[in-house]
Structure 1
Amino acid sequence: MQKQDPYASLRIKEFNIFLLVRFLLVFAWSMQFIIIEWQVYSITKDPWSLGLIGAFEFLPAFSMALFAGHIVDQKEKRNLFALCIGLFSLISFGLYFLTNPDFISGWSSNTVLYSIYALVFFGGLLRSFFGPTIFSLIALIVPKKLYPNAATWSSSTWQMASVLGPAFAGYTIYLIGVNLSLCIVFSLVLLSSFLVFLIKRKPIMNPKKGEPVSKSLKEGISFVFKTKAILGAITLDMISVLFGGAIALLPVFAQDILQVGSKGFGFLRAAPAVGAFLTMLTTAYIPISKNAGMKLLAAIFGFGLCIIIFGLSTSFWISLIALFFSGVTDGVSMVIRQTILQLKTPDHMRGRVASVNSMFVGSSNELGALESGLTAKLMGTVTAVVFGGTMTLLTVISTGILNPTLRRLDLTKDMQEQEEKAN
C-alpha cells in the first residue's frame, strides 16, 4: 500500500469550498443551539426544559430521516444543499426575532418559549435533509480512492466548528447578549448561502430515478441491516451517545454546580470538540483502520469513563479535562464510523444510508438530551450523568462479547482494494 498523503483531498478546489461552507454552517448551528439552551434555561430554570429542546429536534429529524434520504438520492445535490441553507437562514432569523425585546414586548414567557420550541422543531425537519445531502455531496466532489481522507477532513472541519462555535457563543452571550449573538448566526448562514454556489451542480448517480418511495426506503434499510460492519458500528455509537448525553445538562453544571457562568459554560461546551478535533487531525497522519473494531470498542469505553468522571467532579478543571478526553475518544469512534460508511456504501444509496445513520446516531444526540433531562428530573443532575456513563460501559462490554464480527473488524483490506481500483 502506498504511503498516505494526508492532504490529498485538500488539493481539490471544490472540496475546500465545501469545507468552508460546512464550517460556517456547523459554527452557526452549534452557536445557535448553545444560545438557545442558555436562553431557555434562563427562562425556565428547569433541566427538563433542556431535555425538551432535544425532543423537539429529535422527533422530526428521526421521523423524516428515511424519506429525506430517498429525496436526496433522487435530486441534484448542490441545489438541494443550497435550499437547505436558505431554510436554515429563515429559522435563524426567527430565533433572532424571538429574542429581540423590541419585537416581543408584551409577549408572555410561555409564548416566547413555545415559539422557540416550534422553530427548533422545524430545525429538526431541516436537519434530516442536511446530513444525507452533505454525505452524498462529498462523494461527488472527491474521487473514491480519497473517500477516507475526505471523510477525515470533513469530520475535522465539523469538529473545529464545534470547538469554536460553543466557545464563541459563550463569549458573545457574555459580551453582547443573546439577541446580537443570534444576529451573528444569521449573518454566517447568509454568507454560506452565497458560497455554496461556487460548487458546480453534480450529476444524479441513482440508476433508479423515480423509484417508488416505499421500495426505495425498503432497499436502504435492508442494505444497512445486511452490512454487519455498518450496523454494528452505528448501533454501538447510538447507544453510547444516548446514555452519555451529559452535554445537554452543561447549563445546569455551569450555573448551579461549578458556578462558572457563561464564559465557563463556553469552555466546557467546547472541550469535547477540542479533543475530537485534535484526534481527527492525528488520524489524517496515522490511520486507524487496522483492528478498527477493537479500537472502536476501546474508544467508546473510554468515553463512558470520562462521562462518569465529569458527573462526579465538583472542580471546573477536572470537569474540563474529563470533557476534553471524552472528545478524544469520541473522535476515534467518529472517524472509524465515517470511514466504514464511505467505503461500504454504493454511490446510488448514499442518501438513504446516511439517513439511517442519522436515525441511529445523529438523532440519538437529541434523544440523549431528552434522556438526560428526564433522568436529571427524576434522579438529580449528578446521578443522571453517572448513570448514563455506567450504561455506556455496560453496553460496550456486552457488545464486545455478543458481536464478534464487530470485534474483529479490520478496514485495512477495504482501503487497499480502493487504492488498487484507483490505480
Structure 2
Amino acid sequence: MFRSLRERNYRYYASGQVVSLTGTWMQRAAQDWLVLELSGGSPAALGVAVALQFLPTLALTLWAGVFADRFDKRTILIVTQTALGLCGFALGTLDVTGIAVLWHVYVLCFVLGCFSAVDAPVRQSFVVEMVGPAQLTNAVALNSMTFNLARIVGPAIAGLAITAVGTGWVFLANGLSSVAVVVGLLLMDAAALHRPRAAGKERGQLRAGLRYVRGRPDLVVVMVLMFCVGAFGMNFENTFAVMARNVFHREADGYGILITMLAVGTLTGATLAARRSGKPGSRLRLMLLGAGAFGALEALAGLMPGYWMFAVCLIPVGIAVMTFTTSANSTVQLAVDPTMRGRVMGLYMLLFMGGKPLGGLASGWLAEVLGPRWPLVLGGLLSLAAAVGGALALSHQRKRGLIPSLG
C-alpha cells in the first residue's frame, strides 16, 4: 500500500507535507472562526473570505501550469511554500497584537490565494517526477491520506487551541509548519527526479494546452464534473462553521469536530484508494460512482436534525468525495502527454479551485436567505446531477468510439 514511499525524494516530500498540511488545516479552521467573530457571525462574510482566497485561481492557475511545463517545479514550490508560510506569520501577528480587523483578513486571504493558485498545479504535476508513472496512482492516494490525516489532526488541535489561547497563535503555528515542507524540498536529490523534456519558450503554449484538452472528450467530462462538484458540493469549511455556530450552537471545538469527522471519512477513502492502486479497473467508472454517492450523501447529511447525527453522516460523505477526487486526479495525470501535464493540471486546478469563489458566495447567500442547511442539500443534489450527466456523456462518447469502454 505504501510502495511510492520507497522513493527517497517522495519520502522527504511526504514527511514535510504531514507537518505543513496540519498547520494549513489549523489555519483554515482558525481563519473561518476569526471571520465569524469579527463579522458578528455573518455567513455572507465567511463566503466573501472563501471567495477572496480562491479568486486568484481564475487569473493565475492556467499560467502556473505553463510555468510548470517550462521551469523547475521544485524551485517554484520552494518559493510558493515560503510565501504561504509568511502569510500565516502576518495574520498571526495582526491577531495576536489585537489589531486585526475584517479587511485585514480579507487582504491576506487574497494574497494567500495568489500563491496557492501558483502552488497547486505545480505541486500536482510534481508528484509524477518524484515517483514515476508506475507509482503515480499510489502516490496520489498517499497524498490524499496525508492531506486527510492533517485534516483530522489540524482542526482538532485548532479547536482546542482557539479556546485556550486564541486564533492568533494558530496562525503563527501554521507559518512555522511551512518550514518542514521547504526543508524536504531542499533535501531532495534533483538527479533522481523523473523529469520530462521541458517545454521550450514558444508562443501560444497556453492555447495549445487548452486545444489538447478540448480534443479529448474524456478529459472534458472529467473537467466539467470536477468544476460542478468543487464549486457547489465541496464548500465544507464555511458551511460547517455556520452549521456548528448558528444551527447547533457549538463553540470552536464543535466546529473542529465536524471537520475531523469528515476527515475520518476522507482518510478512510484515501486508504481504500491506495489499496486499490495496484489493481486493474476503470478509474472513470470509479470517479462517476464516487461523485454520485458523494452528492446523495451530502444532501442527506444536510437534513440531519441533531449535531451528532450530522457529524456521523460526514464519515461516508468523506469516503465518497475522496473516491471521486483521487480517481479524477490519477485519471487526468495518467491520460495526458508528459509535456502537457503542467498545463492540463493547471486547467484541472482552475476548474476545481476556481469554482470555490462562486460556491463560497452562493453558499453564503443561500445560508443567509434559506438557512444554513440549504447549501449542503442543494450542493449535494447538483453534484449528483453532474455525476449522472457525466455518465451519460461518457456513455455516448464510448458508443461513438471516441473513448474506450468504461470497464
In the other structure, the counterpart of 2:264 is 274
1:126 maps to 2:115: yes
Seen in structure 2, the aligned counterparts of structure 1 residues 362 and 406 have a Cα distance that, compared at 3 Å, is: farther
Match runs of 1:282-321 below 5 Å: 282-287=272-277, 290-321=281-312
Q: CA deviation at 1:184?
A: 1.2
Q: CA deviation at 1:191?
A: 3.1
Say whether the 8 Å CA contact 1:258–1:314 is kept in structure 2.
no
In the other structure, the counterpart of 2:147 is 158
Aligned residues: 399
1:159-193 deviations in Å (ceiling 9; x for gaps): 22222222221121122211111121111112332
Say whether the 8 Å CA contact 1:293–1:406 is kept in structure 2.
no
Say whether the 8 Å CA contact 2:32–2:46 is kept in structure 1.
yes
In the other structure, the counterpart of 1:416 is none
Q: CA deviation at 1:296?
A: 2.2
In structure 1, how many angstroms separate the alpha carbons of the residues matched to 2:330 and 2:296? 25
In structure 2, how many angstroms separate the alpha carbons of the residues matched to 1:125 and 1:99? 21
1:197-216 deviations in Å (ceiling 9; x for gaps): 1113358634432223xx11
In the other structure, the counterpart of 2:165 is 176
1:359-381 deviations in Å (ceiling 9; x for gaps): 11133344322221122223222
Q: Which runs of 4+ in 1 moved over 6 A?
A: 406-413
1:232 maps to 2:221: yes
Match runs of 1:39-118 below 5 Å: 39-44=34-39, 45-102=41-98, 104=99, 112-118=101-107
In the other structure, the counterpart of 1:3 is none
Give the alignment partner of residue 349 of structure 1, picking from 340, 343, 346: 340
Say whether the 8 Å CA contact 2:20–2:181 is kept in structure 1.
yes
Q: CA deviation at 1:64?
A: 0.8
Say whether the 8 Å CA contact 1:93–1:183 is kept in structure 2.
yes
User: Taking every aligned residue pair, what percent have the same amino acid on both sides?
Assistant: 23
Q: TM-score, normalised by structure 1?
A: 0.88
Seen in structure 2, the aligned counterparts of structure 1 residues 79 and 49 have a Cα distance that, compared at 3 Å, is: same
Say whether the 8 Å CA contact 1:87–1:126 is kept in structure 2.
yes
Q: CA deviation at 1:251?
A: 1.4
Give the alignment partner of residue 359 of structure 2, picking from 364, 368, 375: 368
Say whether the 8 Å CA contact 1:375–1:381 is kept in structure 2.
yes
Seen in structure 2, the aligned counterparts of structure 1 residues 406 and 18 have a Cα distance that, compared at 3 Å, is: farther
In structure 2, how many angstroms separate the alpha carbons of the residues matched to 1:210 and 1:179? 44
Say whether the 8 Å CA contact 2:26–2:157 is kept in structure 1.
yes
In the other structure, the counterpart of 1:198 is 187
1:39-91 deviations in Å (ceiling 9; x for gaps): 00111111001110121022111211111111122111211111111111211
Say whether the 8 Å CA contact 2:159–2:252 is kept in structure 1.
yes
Seen in structure 2, the aligned counterparts of structure 1 residues 256 and 378 have a Cα distance that, compared at 3 Å, is: closer
Say whether the 8 Å CA contact 1:251–1:265 is kept in structure 2.
yes
Q: Which amino acid aligns with 1:15?
A: Y
Q: CA deviation at 1:347?
A: 2.2
Deviates more, 1:233-242 or 1:398-407: 398-407
1:265-301 deviations in Å (ceiling 9; x for gaps): 1010122222111112122223475243333222222
Say whether the 8 Å CA contact 1:72–1:132 is kept in structure 2.
yes
Q: Which amino acid aligns with 2:33?
A: W
Say whether the 8 Å CA contact 2:128–2:194 is kept in structure 1.
no
Seen in structure 2, the aligned counterparts of structure 1 residues 284 and 80 have a Cα distance that, compared at 3 Å, is: same
Segments of 5+ residues of structure 1 without an aligned counterpart are 1-5, 414-423
In structure 2, how many angstroms separate the alpha carbons of the residues matched to 1:342 and 1:274? 26
Q: Which amino acid aligns with 2:276?
A: I
In the other structure, the counterpart of 1:135 is 124
Deviates more, 1:381-390 or 1:144-153: 381-390
SS in structure 1 at match of 2:199: coil
Give the alignment partner of residue 254 of structure 1, picking from 223, 244, 248: 244
Say whether the 8 Å CA contact 1:310–1:319 is kept in structure 2.
yes
SS in structure 2 at match of 1:403: helix
Deviates more, 1:77-86 or 1:386-395: 386-395
Q: CA deviation at 1:21?
A: 2.0
Seen in structure 2, the aligned counterparts of structure 1 residues 306 and 203 have a Cα distance that, compared at 3 Å, is: closer
Q: Which amino acid aligns with 1:13?
A: R
In structure 2, how many angstroms separate the alpha carbons of the residues matched to 1:136 and 1:84? 15
In the other structure, the counterpart of 1:324 is 315
**Root-mean-square deviation (Å):** 2.3
Give the alignment partner of residue 359 of structure 1, picking from 333, 350, 363: 350
Say whether the 8 Å CA contact 2:232–2:379 is kept in structure 1.
yes
Segments of 5+ residues of structure 2 without an aligned counterpart are none
Say whether the 8 Å CA contact 2:283–2:331 is kept in structure 1.
no
Give the alignment partner of residue 394 of structure 1, picking from 365, 381, 385: 385
Seen in structure 2, the aligned counterparts of structure 1 residues 99 and 297 have a Cα distance that, compared at 3 Å, is: same
Seen in structure 2, the aligned counterparts of structure 1 residues 407 and 256 have a Cα distance that, compared at 3 Å, is: farther
In structure 2, how many angstroms separate the alpha carbons of the residues matched to 1:407 and 1:122? 43
Q: TM-score, normalised by structure 2?
A: 0.91
Q: CA deviation at 1:405?
A: 5.6
Say whether the 8 Å CA contact 2:51–2:356 is kept in structure 1.
no
Q: CA deviation at 1:309?
A: 2.1
SS in structure 2 at match of 1:290: coil
Q: Which amino acid aligns with 1:33?
A: R
In structure 1, how many angstroms separate the alpha carbons of the residues matched to 2:398 and 2:359? 25
Give the alignment partner of residue 255 of structure 2, picking from 253, 265, 273: 265
In structure 1, how many angstroms separate the alpha carbons of the residues matched to 2:219 and 2:280? 14
Q: CA deviation at 1:231?
A: 2.1
In structure 2, how many angstroms separate the alpha carbons of the residues matched to 1:128 and 1:206? 24
1:210 maps to 2:205: no
In the other structure, the counterpart of 1:417 is none
Q: Which amino acid aligns with 2:4?
A: S
